[in-house]
Structure 1
Amino acid sequence: MGERRRPAWWRRAAASGGGLVLALAPAGAAVAAPAPHSSPAGGVPVCRVRDSRLTEISGMVATANGLVVVNDSADEEARRRIFFLTADCRVTRAVRYPSRPRDTEDLAVGADGTIWVADIGDNDQSRQTVAVWKLPPGGDRPVLHRLTYPDGPHDAEALLLTGDGRPLIITKQGGAAGIYAPTRDLVPGATVPMARRGQVRLPGTDTSNPSGFLGRAVVTGAATAPDGRRVVLRTYADAFQFDVPDDDVVGAITSGTPRVVPLPDEPQGESIAYTPDGRFLLTVSESADQPPGTRPTILRYPVPGPARATGAPTAPVSRSPVPAVPPRSDLPRLLGGLGVLGAGLLGVGLVRTVRSRRTRR
């Protein structure tokens, strides 16, 4: 999320006072134990993106020829491209859009090699339509397809493809992300309504990340494995891989039990992709200069192996005690909101104390 405003879901939570805390952990309710982890902490660096145009990478896919990435909503025209990279992160091609995209947040690649760009970000939840752009293999002009939600605007950053090549949009709501799908075939230039197909509730973890518990709650990216038999959703902190039986992606992510891959302390992790052989997950953080002077780095994590496909618990991974550098766009606003919330709760407690003392007198 490249905008410098608080997302709507955060503003609503902060405005409700203690509602944010209560929604995540109601008073007296048992808190779910962290999900078992199945991957070593920390990714292996693959390559560093040095092109100055790529400063807010929000979507990525891997192909046999290298990588494809997009920026978040970019103010500079030169950054509003679909960038093709070699395996060592050198930009070889940059494809323009025929019109300005609003907020590109994720990428997917179809079985035929078509690149799908998810123009679905909406921090203020004010867009009347969202969109996906389709770029055919070797093409130089992506085609726009507009979509509408059935229940009002949503902020979203994750795109999946079903076995028959239909897009699924997963919203960013913390704790219960909605799943939306087109009700009919997409038509270039036309607007197609979507239907809500369910919601995703990801298990809790304790993975260290700059945004704390909020970073473990919101869906920031997704990917479909090359064989279509697995999909993965990610937060700022973790990746959750689901098995997909019978090509039922919606059923898999709404009722399946994911295997968790911790992605600890990524500066602002929003992108995730499978390698073409399906053996690894690739990630990259949106923010450059985190810490100052650094460039976005592609990280590689092993996919949970077949021996753990049954979801059997594995030993939890220890967490690094070293604090991570906060992302420049999100964390200051989150911490500011938490500070206001904490001050409000403290004030309520002081008022109650004074009243109690007056009553006793």
Structure 2
Amino acid sequence: MADDTGIYKFGALVCGSFIVLTVATAQFGRGEQRPAVVKRDPPAQVRTALTSAKAARTSRGTLVCTPQGGTRPLGDEVHESSGVAVSGAHAGIFWTHNDSGDPLLYAIDAQGRMAGTVRVTGAQVQDWEDVSRAPCPGGNCLFVADIGDNQAKRPFVTVYRVREPAPSDTASAPAEAIRLRYPDGAQDAEAMFVLNGAIHIVTKGETGPIAVYRAPVSAAPGEPSTLERTRNVTPDKVKRSERITGADASPDGRWVAMRTLDDVVIYAAAELIGSAPLAPRRVSVKSLGEKQGEGIGFTPDGSLVLTSEGGKKEDAATFARLGCTQS
């Protein structure tokens, strides 16, 4: 991982069935939406979606974003896309999963087409809510977060660490089950990112503040290890549209992106995992009309992909495109 300083740049890249933020200069043709603007919020406050007319100029520049078209469906197999991660070994491949059912990872290509289905060997599904890719000895690993707990009753949650498979594989290498318990009682969470050798779980903010918990990726399989509560992101619980449903860290370690039903919220990683005041940059994606937006993942070139879960198996899981520029 690179250090936690500097500026991460965003722009636009077409990535088939996912929302994408990439390095680019935005151009807007006939019929395209004018840009919505990402505003630097005051520290540790959750705000409503930004209006498209406002621009906030900060010490890190101005970030201007706009949805590019509407949503498009993913394949029938992916009926509850709860998380998404960008492959580190196979260019143009994205990994996603459902939150229930069999322990399967789905490989999706850059057009949103199914490229493979891989069973995670030794894993079980209680409530899979996120997936992240991070380096591990000898290559790349996927970290699958079985952390959902709507009733906040689980004695521990599980993160499965597995060597990244190939899309053509039918089964993965054996997964390691990292069992984790909260130091202050069970929590409901849907978001996880892996950064600087640590697993970070972000709670939803439904019954209390949005909080970040951390444990080393080296936590031994077997008996549950205790997470460390590192900070609150908000001072209190938040309304439904602002609950955190997914997260990921940029490959260079500079940024952490979280998503809600309506927004993408970008934090400087050094602020989020440290003790500095938080100054999130917020991008409204409400105009996309996603049903239960949950997945978010950074690509190696600095883009983001977003997926939505769909409408309780009645409406397809979706993807869309978001283009951004930073000056």
- The TM-score, its normalising length taken from structure 1, stands at 0.63
Figure out how many residues of one structure are paired with residues of the other and give that number: 256
Mapped contact 2:66–2:324 kept (Cα < 8 A): no
SS in 1 for 2:274: helix
Is 1:179–2:212 an aligned residue pair? yes
State the match for 1:223 in structure 2: 248
Contact 2:272-2:278 at 8 Å conserved across structures:
no
Q: Which amino acid aligns with 1:101?
A: V
The one of 160, 184, 199 equivalent to 1:167 is 199
Q: Which has the higher contact order (CA 8 A, sep 6+)?
A: 2
Aligned to 1:85: 108
1:269 to 285, 293, 301: 293
- Which of 61, 69, 78 is matched with 2:96 structurally? 69
Q: Which residue of structure 2 lines up, in the alignment, with residue 260 of structure 1? A: 282
Q: Could you say if the C-alpha distance between residues 289 and 150 of structure 1 is closer, same or farther in structure 2, counting changes exceeding 3 Å?
A: closer
Q: What is the CA distance between 1:87 and its match in structure 2?
A: 1.5
> 2: CA distance between counterparts of 1:202 and 1:35?
19
What are the ranges of 5 or more consecutive residues in structure 1 without an aligned counterpart?
1-30, 204-212, 308-361
**What per-residue deviation string (whole Å, max 9, x for no partner) do you get for residues 192-231 of structure 1?**
111211111299xxxxxxxxx8333211111111211111
Deviations 1:110-160 (A, max 9, x none): 034211111100001110110100111334332211011111100000001
CA distance in structure 2 between the partners assigned to 1:121 and 1:43 by the alignment: 31
CA distance in 1, matches of 2:162, 2:325: 31
- Once residues 213 and 47 of structure 2 are traced to their aligned partners in structure 1, the CA distance between those partners, rounded to angstroms, is 29
- Report if the CA contact (8 A) 1:106-1:118 is conserved: yes
Pick closer, same or farther for the CA change 1:128–1:39 going to 2, 3 Å. same
Q: Tell whether 2:304 aligns with 1:296.
A: no
Return closer, same or farther for 1:140/1:39 CA change in 2, 3 Å cut-off.
Answer: farther
Q: How far off is 1:40 after superposition?
A: 4.1
Q: Which residue in 1 is equivalent to 2:133?
A: 109
In structure 2, relative to structure 1, the CA distance for the partners of 1:88 and 1:45 (3 Å cut) is farther
Distance 2:325 2:234 in 1: 20
Q: Is the 8 A contact 1:113 1:137 kept in 2?
A: yes
1:141 equivalent to 2:174? Answer yes
- Distance in 1 separating the partners of 2:243 and 2:47: 18
Sequence identity, in percent?
29
Residue in structure 1 matching 2:84, options 47, 54, 60: 60
Query: Is 2:64 aligned against 1:42?
Result: no
Q: 2:242 aligns to what SS in structure 1?
A: coil
Which amino acid is 2:277 matched to? S
Greater percentage in strand: 2
Native 8 Å contact 2:129 2:146 kept in 1: yes
Q: What are the superposed Cα offsets for residues 270-315 of structure 1, whole Å, 9 maximum, x if unpaired? A: 111123311x32211112578x5x532222223552x2xxxxxxxx
Distance 1:120 1:33, change over 3 A: closer
Q: CA deviation at 1:190?
A: 3.3
Whole-Å Cα distance in 2 between the matches of residues 46 and 35 of structure 1? 19
